Structures are given as structure tokens and as C-alpha cells.
Amino acid sequence: MKIPATLTTAILLPVLFAGTAIAQDTPSADQAASESRAVGWALSKIVGPAGRQSNLDQTRDAMRKIFLAADINGGGVSDADYLLRAQTHAARGRASTVSGILLLDIDGDGAVTREEIESQMGGRARAPIPADGVTLEPTPDQIRQRLETLVGTVLQHDRDGDSVIVFAEMLAAAGNMAPPVEPPPDSSRQIPSYLDKDGDGTVTMEEYSAVLEQAIAIIDEDGDGTLSPDEKAKGNELARQFISRETGERRAEEKARRQRELERKLIEGCAMPEVPGDARILLLAAYEGIALSTVSIGGDDEVVQVIDVHIEEGDRPLYVVVGSHHAVVWRLSGAVGRVAVFVADSQKRTRDGRARIGVVGLPKDRVHFTGMRDCVPRYEEGGRIKKSQREVMERVIGRPVDDTVVHYGIGQASLPGGAIKEKHTYPETVTPPKGTPGEPLWREMLHYNSGGLVRIEAESVVSPLPVGPYEVLPQEAGLAQLLDEGALGPYGKDRSELLETIENSPELSRHPTSFVLGRALLVIQRKIAFPAGLAGAHSVTFVLPPGVPEPDGNPGHSPVIRPSADP
């Protein structure tokens, strides 16, 4: 006997849109909620693309085609079908990555060399730079930097560092870049798994058709096999309610999926040493230090700061994890024998992903550097860290953190007590010279770095990167150094003489004249390298006279005026 459509509607609709609270009461409620969700899905299809026609037989035929498209292996729709689809997609992604690298193989020998990459990237490196509505020709230094960036992006796949990407390395790159191979969530499936009424892992055509007929019985109230305008309007409203709820669940599901994927990558890439015995786990997150280092880490193109850590007396061993936004040399003193493991991380990294970080005061076998960014929770605005980052780190370590210290600018931290000194007198600081051309900038350096310039012996630093004395110190210290050496000089003429040059220079047009002339004007006297960190308040304005070689490095936010005649 056919159940009247109105009675079917009265039975199903309260459950269909009752939400998840009912579904958690009993196993039978779970089953009812799943069935109602299945009917809601079918309703959305009937009034959607599959049901554009009023004739329900045509709708049934369209729905059958949807099922057959999903049933790749012919045994009903299951995870196996979606896994095969995901594997096919991943295979296409791998093939695309390999072919993209092979496009650079000019001589066709199956290997891509640095020379082959450079020969094809030169045009992109020399391309004009759009800026604030105008197009600027890149400087020679910008061309070199852009070319190095382009080449470095490709050579990141060169695992053995010989500047040649062989086929095995291409395959490895393809494997790393391919999407994850796993069945998608229900929200992304043509046929969702909750249509599987008997729970055997496969949605059969019979189960699929039964759900479709339940939905048709709800919407086709008079049972005439066609949908009237009123029946379509009712179906559209029911489908809208279902889709609205599904959209919310889909977003939550996708957010959870992305979080799981991020956690998986972090857990795989952030391996940390085991916690020895009853060691106390301490987390110290800082944004920056208050002093500059005399040594660079991984090259002179980054500002390196110094943070001192004093280890207090005690018997319990310590497992210390430190992280910073800036590149930092962490100097340990006090009862350093308590430190069983010292894990250090920095948001500043080289192109190949290694952290610009160093440690002084511990033997190398007790220091560990993380393999990728975000392994250690970072300082967030307001003096906090993200709970999710801390939880991931704890999963990597295998134990909860005992104590956490979060602070913006640190001179010295005392552990495990957690006391922080924002003002700190560093031993072995460099005394800025007086009575020299650079004296004003030495004073300005102390304004931004109250701890001064700390002398570090490169040989004492444990780091994942090469450590060496700066040739040109960063920020104001470097400007003062260049002034004292005579490589820079103050601009001694009327600034108005530079107005015409500024107004006629496309490279400077993005800066207001007041910005360019409102900063210290320094004339480049000979070949130099720009100090690192000339951004924001640390920027100045350089004047490059004709005949003086282009500087190396990056001027940051500092404009470079190139007058046509000597100033």
C-alpha cells in the first residue's frame, strides 16, 4: 500500500531538519538522522540540476547517470571509487610537476642544469616592474636578485646540491607536491556515504533508488509523476534548508581537514628529540631581542639579534624550546648543565627553509633545530601563542609543556623561573666610536637596540647555517660603519637641487618627495653593500653619483637617487 505523500512528509520532515541533537540520543536516532540526511540530499538534487524538468521519470534518469558516473568499478559506490579518482588526480599532478621541470631541459638529456634554468629565466628577471600605476625598469641588482630567486625556486628540487636536477629528483619533487591520496569527505562526493543504509561501506543502486523514491514521495504530493509550480516551490524551500545546513557542516569539515593536514605535515616535518626522564619542558616565545649581533647567520642579508638566557640552579633537567620572529643568537649562561635538550626555531629562514638561528653556550649534541617553519609556537599580537600550535608541538614532543613564557622584546630570560629583563646590560658589547662621521647613527642604533652591538665569536655559535662576522653591519650600525670608513658621506648641498631628479625618476615616483627628502641623505662614495634591515624607520635616502658602481644587496625601503650630474 502506498503511504500518502502528506503522511510521509509529516513523518520525515521533523527528523529531516531536527539537527544533530536528536541523533545523539540512541542508535535508532542515529540511523533516522542519517536516513533523513540522505533524503534531504536527494531533495536538493531533484529540484537542482538533475531535476530541471517537471517530469519525474526524466529526473530519475538524470539521477541514475549521476550514480553510474560515481560507480567507477561497477560494484556500487564506495571509498574504493573515490580513492581511485584521488589516485588518478594525484598521478596527473605528479606528471604535471615532472613535465614542468622537463620543459627547462634544453638539450634533452633528462637533466636540468642551473645554466639551462638561467637561460630561460633571464627574460622574466628583466621584465618591467609595475608599481603604483607605473612601470619601472629593474636595476641591475634587482635583475640579479630576481634571477637568483627564479633559479632558486627551481633548484629547490636539487636534493644533492650539485645544481643539476636529475629525473629521480623530479620524481621526488612530484611526490612532495602531489595532493594527498585519500577518499574525499562526504561533502565532496557525488554520492555521499550516508546513503549506505545497511552500513556495509557501499552504496548500491537499490539503496540509492530507495532514497530517491522517498524524496519524490515528499515533493510529489499528488503522486502524478510531475512537479507542479507549488510542489517545486516547496521542494526548493526544503532543499534550501538542507543545503544551508550542509554548507555549514561542509565548512566545518573542510576547516577540520585543513587543520589535520597541517598538523600531519608539522608532525612529520618537526621531529624533535625525546624528552629525557622527568625533564621539565619549557617554552619561550619571543618576537625579537634588544641587541644586534656582530655575526650574521646564513648571509649578511638579514638582521641578527641577541637574547641572553640565564639557567637557574636546580636538580631537575630541562627541555627548553625557544622560538622568535627575528633571526636570533641565543646565549646561555648559568647552570647550563641542567639543559638536556635545547630546541631553537625562527620565522626568518633561508630559501631552502633552514632557520636563521644560533646557540652559544651549549655543546652541539644538545642543540636541535626544527626542520620547517611553525614547528615552535610563535609570538602573537597581545603576548600570546596559538593554542593549536602549542598542541601540535606537544604531540610532536609526546608530552605537555610544563611552563610557557611569551614576551615581545627580550634582553634576558631566566629559566625555569620565567623572569624577563626588557632592559639588559650585555657583556662584550662594542663601544661605539665618538667624534666620527657616523656618531649620530651609532646613537640612533642604540635608540632602536638598547642592548647595543654584542660581540659574538662565530666559532662559538651552533647553527644550521654558516656563521661569520658581518662585512657590513645591519641597520644604523652598518650605515655608521660605512660613514666611518668613508664609503658613505653626508649630502652637503641644497636638497632642492635633487627635486628635479626625484620628480623625473619613475623609480622614485612611488615615494612622496617629502618621504625621500625627509630622511638622512647619504652619498655613496664607492662600491658598497647595503646594510640589512633598511626598512620602515630604519630607512634613509641614498644618492648614487654618476660613475659610482651600483651597490650590492637590498636597500629595503630606502630610496636611491641617481642624479645625472655630481651633486
Mean pLDDT within 459-481:
97
Q: What is the pLDDT of residue 472?
A: 97
Cα gap 446→432, rounded to integer Å: 9
The 3-state DSSP class for residue 483 equals helix
Residue with cell 648543565: 337
Q: What is the pLDDT of residue 321?
A: 96
User: What is the percentage of the chain residues whose pLDDT exceeds 70?
Assistant: 87
Cα gap 314→518, rounded to integer Å: 54
Angle at 276 between CA 366 and CA 268, to 5 degrees: 75
Q: What is the pLDDT of residue 43?
A: 83
The 3-state DSSP class for residue 332 equals strand
Res. 270 pLDDT band, cuts 50 70 90: confident
Res. 475 pLDDT band, cuts 50 70 90: very high
pLDDT digits (tens, 9 = 90+) for 26-71: 445 566 666 777 888 888 888 765 555 668 888 888 889 989 998 9
pLDDT digits (tens, 9 = 90+) for 222-241: 888 888 888 888 888 887 88
Residue with cell 666620527: 436
Q: Answer yes or no: is pLDDT of 520 > 70.
A: yes
Selected residue with higher pLDDT from 409 and 8: 409
Neighbours of 518 (CB within 10 A): 12
Cα gap 404→377, rounded to integer Å: 10
Cell reading at 451: 642592548
pLDDT digits (tens, 9 = 90+) for 168-177: 999 888 877 6
Cell reading at 370: 626544527
Res. 12 pLDDT band, cuts 50 70 90: very low
Q: What is the pLDDT of residue 131?
A: 63
Q: Answer yes or no: is pLDDT of 404 > 90.
A: yes
Neighbours of 88 (CB within 10 A): 12
Cα gap 493→495, rounded to integer Å: 6
pTM of the entire predicted model: 0.60
Residue with cell 502524478: 224
Mean pLDDT within 460-489:
96
CATH architecture of the domain with range 81-177: Orthogonal Bundle (1.10)
> Do residues 446 and 477 lie in contact, with contact meaning Cβ atoms separated by under 8 Å?
no
Strands 541-543 and 560-561: parallel
- Domain boundaries in the chain? 5-71+193-266, 81-177, 274-460, 486-561
Cα gap 81→193, rounded to integer Å: 12
- Residue 123, burial from CB neighbour count under 10 angstroms (0-12, 13-18, 19+): exposed
Neighbours of 47 (CB within 10 A): 23
Selected residue with higher pLDDT from 11 and 415: 415
